[in-house]
Structures are given as C-alpha cells and as structure tokens.
A and B are shown apart, each in its own frame.
Chain A
Amino acid sequence: MDLRWSESEEAFRAEAREWLTAHVPDGLPSGDTRDGFAAHLEWERALFAARWAVVSWPERYGGRDASLWEWLIFEEEYYRAGAPQRVTQNGIFLLAPTLFEFGTPEQQERYLPRMAAAQDLWCQGWSEPGAGSDLAAVRSSAVRTEGGWLLSGQKTWTTRGAFCTHLFGLFRTDTTAPRHHGLTYFLVPLDAPGVTVRGFPRLDGDEGFAEVFLDGAFVPDADVLGGVNEGWRVAMATTGSERGLTLRSPGRFLASVDRLIGLYRERPDESMRNRVAQSWIEAQAYQMFTLQQVTSILDGEPPGAASSLNKLFWSELDVRLNESAHELLGTDAEFDGEWARAFLFSLAGPIYAGTNEVQRNVVAERLLGLPRK
C-alpha cells in the first residue's frame, strides 16, 4: 500500500490545475441546448488546443499518453475547478475505447483526431423505443447493398443527438441468428440521406434527447466497427467503460461533495449535518474503491462485471448527495438553477448506462453466482 502520488504525478496535477484555473469559463449555458452546446464546443476546442481534451490518448491524436493515474488526477482537477460538462464525452469516453480496441488503423486515423478536436461530435445510438434495458432487443436493421449497408429503424433517448454529427450504434444484420449474434456496430454520419433527427426535452426541459430515424441510410463497409455480426461483443467493451471509471471518476463526486459542504456552510442546518457527512464518506469510499480497482487494472485484471458495482455506488451516492442539497435549499429549491439541474440530472444516473435493476442482476448473477433462472 502506498497512497501517495509520485513527483511527476504531482507535477502533472499542478500543470492541470494552473491551466484550468486560468481558463475555465464562468457559467456556460446548458450544453443540452443548441446555443449552450456551441459554447461548450468552444471550450472543448480550447481544451484540445492545450492538449487537455483527451489526456489518456496517444500524443499523435492530441493526447498526453497520460497513465490511468494521471487521468484520475486530471478528472479530480477538472471537477475541482468547476469546469463545464464534457459534451464530447460519448465520443471520447464511450466510442473511443472501442475504436482503440476494435477499429482498423484506417478507422482510427480517420476518426480519432477529429473526435479529439471536437470536429466530429458523436452520440450513442443504442436505445430504441422497444430496447432500453433489454439492449439485445434492438430491431433497427442493416441490409447488404453494394459496397455497404442500408440502415433502417429508430433510435431514441440519444443524448445530444440533435447537435451531433455522427452516431455509433447497433443494428441487426442477421435476423435469423440468436438475438445477441446478429448485431453489427456501425459508425453513421447523421447528415447521410435517409437520416432524420428530432430533438426532444429531458426531465429538465432542455433538448438533451433525440430520436434518430433511419430510412435506408447508406453506410459503407469501411464504417463497420469490429466485424459483421460481432456488434454485441464490441458494444459490451464500451458498456464496461461506461458503467465504471471512464464515465464517472471519483473526482466528480469529491467536487460535488465539496460544493455540498459549501452549501451547508451558507445555510447551516444542524439536522442535515450527518447527511452531508455521509455524502463525504461515500465520496471517499468511491475514491478508495477506484484506487484499488485501478491498481488491479494495471496489474492486468480488468474489472469486468465489477464495473456494475461502480455504477450502483456512484449513481446512488449522487442521488443522495443531491437530495441533501435539495433539502438544504429548502423552499428555494423551487427556483431553477445549478442545484436544481444537478438534482434532476442525478436522477438519470440510476437509469442510463443500464438501469440499476439490470446492474443488480449482473452483480447477483456474475459476481455472486446466483442462478439466472
């Protein structure tokens, strides 16, 4: 056990902190509106120009070859500085790990630099009206045509889909195969003929969701990621990253709980102090769990189904933390604002990236070994 950062890691932290302190913009409008998204893109491009957009990526794609430890440090500093939400996250954190693992060199060269620079903006096309938690139920299909595929069907709850340029998603390419085996992972430009995108409001009223309708949209063979009918296996690699570390690092909650403590000091309420303390404890626990998990990953043991433990813990922690803020605000909680937004968003945590009910099934069946049926 040695829970100290090395000198070079501390230097990395200092450099990140200095840059963020000087550059983090004040109060951007919500990234889930058209204008706010544009403002966030400027921020993303500033991050990229200073090589902070994708710190863990290789230098040739605009990263810093940062270690997993340095990535955690960067996240801590990012949220500590109160920096904006990452509107590029579905690309850089969800698609990119899959591209690095399954993409051809040609695909990597074509997509990764533009993704890092926030030129291509990616949204996730998995959920469908009839396929939420039960992802393998997707019905959108791809039919062979000369040089590629014709995609048809409907995706929905696509985060920031109305503002993005590309979609990565699962489409059924073999209707006769068992349902997990007939899927293919496609990279789809949203300006292709036959694609229609309609934004719709999330719980906070912003246009953060979209429905994507595909009506025979052409995608060339070069934009199949990881092989025809291999989509389920390829996609599962991304869910691992999404549930666990890369989507929600501990730095985010350490910063949130600091803000909660700040709110408590502004509006002291003895009866709430233990709940504030509990959120601090839980954020610490998530930090320690993560340090242990990253050590295992670096020792060559990927977390696998254990990433469901992360997802259950951070999502429930986030809801409790924001409920405490809501209580501390008292009747002022009625006014729309940063805390109100955070509260509503925290309630999405137990739903997206696989509902917590599905995660509990995964934990019970794959970690505890309980029978599936």
Chain B
Amino acid sequence: MRFALDETTQTLRAAVADVLRSEVTPAVIRAGWPGGDWAIVSGVWDKLADVGVIGTLLPEADGGLGLDENALVPVLEEIGYSGLPVPAVETIAVAGPYLTGRLMVAVETAPGEPVPFLGRAQRVVLISDGGLHVYETDTLEIEPGDSVDGSRWVGRVARQPEGGVLLSGDAAAAWQRGVLGTAAVLCGLARRMLDMTIGYVQRREQYGVPVGSFQAIKHTLADALVAVEFARPMVLAAGWAQSVGAADAALQTSAAKVLASDAARQVARTALQCHGAMGYTTEYDLHLFAKRAWALAPSWGSSAWHRARIGEIIA
C-alpha cells in the first residue's frame, strides 16, 4: 500500500508545472478567447508537447512517455490549475494512447453532443458504440456556437460523417479516461480559484480589516478546502484503479467525478461570493476559471448522473 505519486510522475508533474507557471498568464488565457491571438495559446501547447506531455499515455515505441492513468491525473490537474484553454483531456486522455504528434484533438462523446474546441482543434474524434473514429476537422460539416467560456470554441458536428479512421474499438475505456481527466482538471481549477480567493481576502480591507479575518469568510473557505482535499485523493485512486484494470474502476471513477464536479462548483460559488462585486466582471480574472469549471462540471457525466449510476450499482 502506498498512496503517493512515484518519482517519475513527480518529475513529470514538476516539469509540466514549470512550463505552465512561467508561460500561462491570464493574458495567455484571454488570448484563447474570440478576438485573441490563438498563436499564443498554441505556442504554450507546443512547449507542453516538447516536455512530452501530449504523449503521456502513448506507448514508448510510438514516441510517447508510455505512462498510465497514475501520471495522467497530476498532469491534467496542473493544466486545469493553469487555466490554459486547450483540449487537454480530449487530446491527452482520450486520443492520447493512439495518436502520435502534437495536433489538438476535439471529442464528440456521443452523436449530437456539443464538442468543445471544435473551432480550434485540427482533429475530431467521434465516440460511438463502434469505438473511436478520428477525422480531420476540415472534412466535417460543423455548426459553430458561442461558448460561455469563450476560450472553449464549442460547436456541434452537423451530421454523422462517413469514413474516418478507427483509433480503437474500446469506447468504454476512452469514456472512462475522459471522465477521469475531466475530474482531474476540475480539481486543478478548484485549487486555482481557492488560491486566488485566499490571496484576495487577505488584501481586501473593509471595516478597517482584511475581510479574510471574518469568521464567515474563514468558514466558507475552510469548507471549500475540505471539498477540494477530499476530491483529489479520490481522483488519484480512480486513476490507479483504471491503471490496473480494477473491477471497480468505473465505480471509483464515477465517485471521483461526483466529488470533483461538486468541489469545483462549490469553490467557484465561494470564490465569486468572497470577491464580492470585484469578481463579478470579465475584467477580473476569476471568471476565466469559474466559467471553465461550469463548463466541465456537467461534461462527461454530471455529478447527478454519476451519483445515480453509483446508486444503481450499489443499492
């Protein structure tokens, strides 16, 4: 029994965090929004690719890192924390084991579902009962949409196309990795919003004292930390369960998504409230992370969906 990242994973995590901490400023996230300079975002993506992150799950023989879900979780948590607007879960977790190179991949989880980053990714993977098929985005008829998180470039694939290249017949495993990866990103976002808020309530003074000295603020932030710190180990445990093909991996993964979605929602709400009107504007950076969390919480199965699924299995 050992519940801790191994050395290789710690090193990878640190390398990813280094790139992200130095490269991803709020201005970089804003560059991902309509009217921004997308080349700035794809430049950071290239730097991540240089570290090898995109091929975390790709076998070494194909030029990847040959790691498993135990490494996937911390990598995606760091990307979530950074707020970099890229289809990391789709590219690294879902298509990652099968695709070489560094192209961004968008994923349609079921026919007709909204596809984030459809307006930015060069490839699209469609998941169906038949497995995962990959297409060049240019060959698809797409209906663009406006995302609440403007950096997500969500759209729909207009009709199910013919052809495509079969990547894998195992749609279920790909789905599980997508759920896991999304849970990890949500944990990262939650940590980020909590950190921002802790900084803010120490600086912001009202009634002559920092608002963070008030118990009402302390207690709501303590509860937010509890939510985050009990979601994170569950996500790591689900990653381990997937990595060894444990019989209860799907159950653990659903539990992870419930806790991560709920924690991210709770922290987003708490963060917004603790910032007062200061945070209720797109000029302040909090919305960049909160809107991402609100987009991801219902994605890959909402917490209600996963909770109901667990209920069907256990009760």
Contact = CB atoms under 8 A, between A and B. Distances in A.
A5 B222 CA distance: 33
Contacts of B201: 370
A274 interface: yes
Contact of B237 (A273, A276, A288, A367): A288
A4 B1 contact: yes
Nearest to B197: A368
A2 B307 contact: no
Interface of B: 1-6, 70, 198, 201-202, 209-210, 212-213, 215, 217-219, 221-223, 225-226, 229-231, 233-234, 236-237, 239-241, 243, 252, 255, 258-259, 304, 307-308, 310-312, 314-315
Interface residues of A, number: 47
A364 B222 contact: yes
B255 A281 contact: yes
B76 to A, nearest CB: 15
Contacts of B4: 1, 292, 295-296, 299
A46 interface: no
Nearest to B6: A1
Given A3-B1, A261-B314, 7 more contacts: A1-B4, A281-B234, A281-B255, A295-B2, A313-B226, A361-B215, A370-B212
A145 interface: no
B234 A284 contact: yes
B218 to A, nearest CB: 3
A280 B202 contact: no
A370 B213 CA distance: 6
CB-based closest 9 A-B pairs: A364-B218, A277-B311, A363-B222, A360-B222, A288-B233, A291-B3, A273-B311, A370-B212, A360-B219
Interface of A is mostly: helix
A370 B233 CA distance: 24
Interface of A: 1-6, 9, 69, 261, 264-265, 273-274, 276-278, 280-282, 284-286, 288-289, 291-292, 294-296, 299, 309, 312-313, 357, 359-361, 363-365, 367-373
Contact of B3 (A278, A292, A312): A292
A285 B230 contact: yes
